[in-house]
Amino acid sequence: MTSSTGMAALVAAIHLAPAGCRSWTAGTTPAVTADKPRAVRGGVKAVFLPRMALLAAILAPGAASADAMDAALLQGLDKVTARISTIEAAVGRPVRFGTLEIVARHCDKTPPEERPEAAAFLQISEIKQGEPTELLFSGWMFASSPALSALEHPIYDVVVVDCVASSSAPADSSSSPKPE
């Protein structure tokens, strides 16, 4: 009984290196210190740390379904100008925010009758003129816990706000951020 949200949580757990682990490799059990217990749920082994509590909640029964959406609604902060922009990133299409190129690969949202949660798999690269493109972030971001898996950049912050049905026409691939 693996849902897309459960898979999202598993992928996020694999991409993160929990603080109590000496090693963490995909497909292996993490080496855990004596004061950090291990739990097994449905064949998936996870380390339950405070910052991993969200992942445990997503894998729990009752959060078994999520709807795939067409676009991720993101919020970008330019730390230099203190300007906040709302960005709609259609799944599979690159969107520019400053020197960043953001590609939403997948976006899941829980149904209204369940605990609200939106999770998006994002790939964020930095494009500077005359330099090769540098991949800064590739992983799941969660709307309810932006610090769980965050972009680390000196100028920009990007967080997931929601997953939505795309409002732009299929021919419009150049979505630009809208300042608030």
User: Do 80 and 47 have their domain in common?
Assistant: no
Among 59, 76, 91, the domain boundary falls at 59
**pLDDT tens readout for residues 113-158:** 999 999 999 999 999 999 999 999 999 999 999 889 889 899 999 9
| Domain extent at residue 160 | 67-179
User: Do 104 and 137 have their domain in common?
Assistant: yes
Mean pLDDT of 7-29: 43
Among 13, 39, 59, the domain boundary falls at 59
CA distance 158 to 124: 9
What does the CA dihedral 63, 69, 75, 76 come to, rounded to 10 degrees?
120
Spatial contact of 93 and 173, defined as CB atoms under 8 Å apart: yes
pLDDT at 28 over 80: no
| Burial tier of 1 (Cβ tally within 10 Å: 0-12, 13-18, 19+) | exposed
CA contacts within 13 A on the Cβ side of 45: 11
User: Do 154 and 114 have their domain in common?
Assistant: yes
